[in-house]
């Protein structure tokens, strides 16, 4: 499994596929998960995770970086340059991790590893698992891949446009953990178990594992509502401490958490989630039948994620924090609105994608 910690989605996708493979084969399958950037990328690319964190905080810088590779021709030039530069490092990776099949959930690894495989005359099957829902950058797609597994028909079209053979493309869905799904238990009981008020609507506000966003402003804006606001700050300890300070002007129904390992339980109990347009979080919410309010996106790469949710009626786009309370109030004022949004999530949810991906991978495993 090839992944990177430049953003939590690549790592989470690899983990969910590994989980599904273990469910299918137990100890009969050996899985080695490799962080391509941290463990094998040559300088300065080994600093990719740090660079990613800086860029997503600066929209102009991110847009420039994205547009640099947003085009089939440009992406081919970038992939070719990266492949030549990183080939020896990727050969070292391949020699250190011999495998029956290689699975990549990280787009920048694909061409470099495929180039190294070709140079070594190594015919190990290489499976690309695309972890962008709709507007996937062309760098994901290399015609030499054995299979390209995509989450939507829109992503499949992008793969075709990048000269990947139609027979190599399979639309399966976004891999997320099997823990995410609807619960048969009443939400009121789930809320009570988590220490939340069972009689109030519950709204989760989060901004990915790193907690990069305007969660303090969101909490303040929602504090006027008669709801439980669950703020998840992730690894952002300074934000966690700031929200917990005695000077924070919030209501008593505010619940503040740092990094949580049971976000699936939170999603099952909540009535609405306010989040960024990260594809993994979106699919986790959809699988949990939890309506979404999306307030932020990475320009270019996550534009399609927003329309995927809003066009299908599973959520709304509200980038103005000052208007969030009003938007939430409008949704809650008519119970059928939230109910219809929840029903819409079931139409575009992707349950079982990880298990299906594991099944495909299993056909390449040797006994």
Query: Would you list the DSSP string of 144-168?
Result: T-SEEEESSHHHHHHHHHTT--GGG
> Same structural domain for residues 156 and 193?
no
The dihedral region occupied by 290, where left means phi > 0, alpha psi between -120 and 50, and beta the remainder, is: beta
Q: Is the pLDDT of residue 285 over 80?
A: yes
3-state helix, strand, coil in the chain (%, to 5): 50, 10, 35
- Residue 246 burial (CB < 10 Å; 0-12/13-18/19+)? exposed
Position with higher pLDDT, 348 vs 235: 348
HSE-up of 135 (CA within 13 Å, CB side)? Answer: 19
> Residues 137, 159: contact at Cβ < 8 Å?
no
Do 164 and 200 share a structural domain?
Answer: no
Mark whether 253 and 337 lie in a shared domain.
yes
pTM beyond 0.85, yes or no: yes
Does one domain contain both 163 and 24?
yes
182 assigned to some structural domain: no
Q: Do 158 and 297 belong to one domain?
A: no
Is residue 133 pLDDT above 60, yes or no? yes
Supply the CATH number for residue 303's domain.
3.40.50.2000
Q: Which two tokens stand for residue 189?
A: 């009981």
| Total number of domains constituting the chain | 2
CATH number, domain containing residue 119: 3.40.50
CA distance 281 to 244: 25
Residue range 26-76, pLDDT digits in tens:
999 999 999 998 898 766 665 554 555 544 555 555 555 555 555 556 666
Q: Of the given ranges (60-74, 124-138, 269-283, 302-316), which has the lowest mean pLDDT? A: 60-74
User: Does residue 119 fall inside a structural domain?
Assistant: yes
* 315 located within any domain: yes
The arithmetic mean of pLDDT across residues 80-94, rounded, is 80
Distance CA 62, CA 299 (A): 7
How far is residue 27's CA from residue 273's CA, in Å, rounded to a whole number?
37
- Predicted confidence at residue 262, as pLDDT, reads 95
Residue 59's domain comprises 2-175+352-362
Q: Would residue 88 count as lying in a domain?
A: yes
Residue 273 main-chain phi, psi, to 5 deg: -125, 135
Q: Assess whether pLDDT exceeds 80 at residue 186.
A: yes
d(CA 179, CA 233): 21
Q: How confident is the model at residue 329 (pLDDT cuts 50, 70, 90)?
A: very high
């Amino acid at each position: 499994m090839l992944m990177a910690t430049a953003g939590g989605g690549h790592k989470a996708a690899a983990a969910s596929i590994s989980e599904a493979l273990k469910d299918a084969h137990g100890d009969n399958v050996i899985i080695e998960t490799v962080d391509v950037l941290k463990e094998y990328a040559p300088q300065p690319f080994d600093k990719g995770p740090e660079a990613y964190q800086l860029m997503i905080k600066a929209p102009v810088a991110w847009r420039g970086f994205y547009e640099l590779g947003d085009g089939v021709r440009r992406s081919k030039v970038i992939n070719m340059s990266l492949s030549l530069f990183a080939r020896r490092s990727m050969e070292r990776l391949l020699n250190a991790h011999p495998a029956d099949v290689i699975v990549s959930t990280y787009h920048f690894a694909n061409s470099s590893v495929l180039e190294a495989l070709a140079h070594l005359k190594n015919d190990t099957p290489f499976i690309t698992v695309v972890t962008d829902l709709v507007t996937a950058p062309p760098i994901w797609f290399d015609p030499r891949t054995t299979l390209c597994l995509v989450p939507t028909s829109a992503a499949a079209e992008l793969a075709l446009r990048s000269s990947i053979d139609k027979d190599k493309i399979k639309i399966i869905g976004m891999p997320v953990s099997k823990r995410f799904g609807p619960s048969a238990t009443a939400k009121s009981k789930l809320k009570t178990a988590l220490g939340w008020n069972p009689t109030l609507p519950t709204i989760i506000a989060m901004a990915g594992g790193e907690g990069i966003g305007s969660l303090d402003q969101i909490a303040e804006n929602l504090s006027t509502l008669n709801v439980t606001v669950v703020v998840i700050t992730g690894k952002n300890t300074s934000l966690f401490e700031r929200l917990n300070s005695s000077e924070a002007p919030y209501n008593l129904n505010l619940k503040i958490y740092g990094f949580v390992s049971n976000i699936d339980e939170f999603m099952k109990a909540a009535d609405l989630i306010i989040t960024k347009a990260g594809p993994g979080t979106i699919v986790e919410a959809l699988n949990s039948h939890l309506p979404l309010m999306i307030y932020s996106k990475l320009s270019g790469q996550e534009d399609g994620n927003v329309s995927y949710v809003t066009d299908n009626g599973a959520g709304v786009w509200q980038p103005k924090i000052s208007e969030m309370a009003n938007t939430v109030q409008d949704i809650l004022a008519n119970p059928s609105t939230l109910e219809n949004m929840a029903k819409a999530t079931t139409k575009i949810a992707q349950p079982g994608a990880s298990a299906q991906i594991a099944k495909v991978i299993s056909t390449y495993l040797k006994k």
